Amino acid sequence: MKSIKAKKVTDEPPSLSGWIISLGIPSLVLGIGVPMMGYVNFWWGVAISAIAIVFFTVEWLRKYAPKQRVLVNVLVISALGGSGIFLLWLTFRPVTVKFDILPATQHYTEGVEIGGLHWQKSYSGSTIVINNQEKSQITNIDLLIKSDAPIVAVGAQSQFSHCGGKPYSPGLLVAAMAETSTDGSGQTHTVPVQMVSAEEFRVFCDRVLGGDSVELTVATGPRLPVGGMPAVSTQTWLSMKGSFDALGRQRSVRTSGCLVKGCLEVVFPK
């Protein structure tokens, strides 16, 4: 009786279609996800890139790693691990952008223009400095500013940035006041003035270039007289909250500062 020799079964190398489906498609998806983080939606880009890296890793370990040399596996796993670390760094890296609240450093004369703001003698001022210390620009700076004195206007001083603002309607105040002046002949003239102000003021700036800064001058007007007390416009504290886009995603900002010693500042609730 003749003995039948068993044929040795050898693993066939993966076909081209197998490579394309298992590794080519995840690579393509990863190539789509990374640019999405900067130009479409950061978090969608992160999610798509993470799924692609995980799928690629699982397919490699399940189908291809046992058939490859140790050096090839080390190189592939190192590349996948490096991609994951780079993705985490993109997701959680901090930005160096400072929002400083400072008392007014100088006294402006009536009528002078400060970044689109025409100063009046009844105003009191403070300064917010947005200092972008990154190499790339930040965009869409959207701030809500609050003070203990009604905010009338905000002027922005920058060569490259465009900023605008308006009173935030929930705290809108309209005051009918009168300004008195004396002409050259010594006669006194009283002119009625309507002042629109708000406890909260919204400011939007399109961008701040890398290494550049924007100086916002916050002008407050007199409070309405209460109980015979005179109207005053002095600020004692300033608070702000908002957001800006930097390094591919939206960032939040929340800060406050005293403008006089011993003030009781009010921070925006979270």
C-alpha 131/C-alpha 208 separation (Å) is: 8
C-alpha 217/C-alpha 63 separation (Å) is: 63
The average pLDDT across 60-79 equals 79
Q: Indicate if the pLDDT at residue 175 is higher than 60.
A: no
Condensed to tens digits (0 to 9), the pLDDT of residues 91-102 reads 778 889 999 999
Please give the distance of CA 148 from its chain centroid, rounded to a whole number.
25
Are the CB atoms for 236 and 259 separated by under 8 Å? yes
3-state secondary structure 200-223: EEEEEEEEECCCCEEEEEEEECCC
Are the CB atoms for 23 and 61 separated by under 8 Å? no
Q: What is the CA radius of gyration of the chain?
A: 31
Give the Cβ contact number of residue 215 at 10 Å: 19
In this structure, what DSSP letter does residue 169 have?
G
pLDDT bin (cut points 50, 70, 90) of residue 24 is low
- Is the pTM higher than 0.85? The answer reads no
Task: Provide CB contacts within 8 A for 154, sequence distance 6+.
Answer: 117, 145, 163, 165, 201, 203, 216, 217, 218, 219
Report residue 47: phi and psi, to 5°: -65, -45
Looking at per-residue pLDDT, the higher value among 197 and 201 belongs to: 201
Give the pair of three-digit tokens for residue 153.
């206007």
The mean of the pLDDT values for the chain is: 76
Looking at per-residue pLDDT, the higher value among 247 and 2 belongs to: 247
**CB burial of residue 51 (10 Å; 0-12, 13-18, 19+):** middle
User: Residues in the chain, how many?
Assistant: 270
The average pLDDT across 53-71 equals 79
C-alpha 270/C-alpha 95 separation (Å) is: 21
Number of H helices and E strands in the chain, helices first, is 4, 11
C-alpha 59/C-alpha 53 separation (Å) is: 10
Looking at per-residue pLDDT, the higher value among 121 and 25 belongs to: 121
Continuous segment of H or E residues that includes residue 132: strand 124-132
First to last CA, the chain: 88
The average pLDDT across 8-33 equals 59
C-alpha 140/C-alpha 131 separation (Å) is: 14
Residue type, 36: M
Condensed to tens digits (0 to 9), the pLDDT of residues 126-170 reads 899 999 999 999 999 999 998 888 888 899 988 889 999 888 865
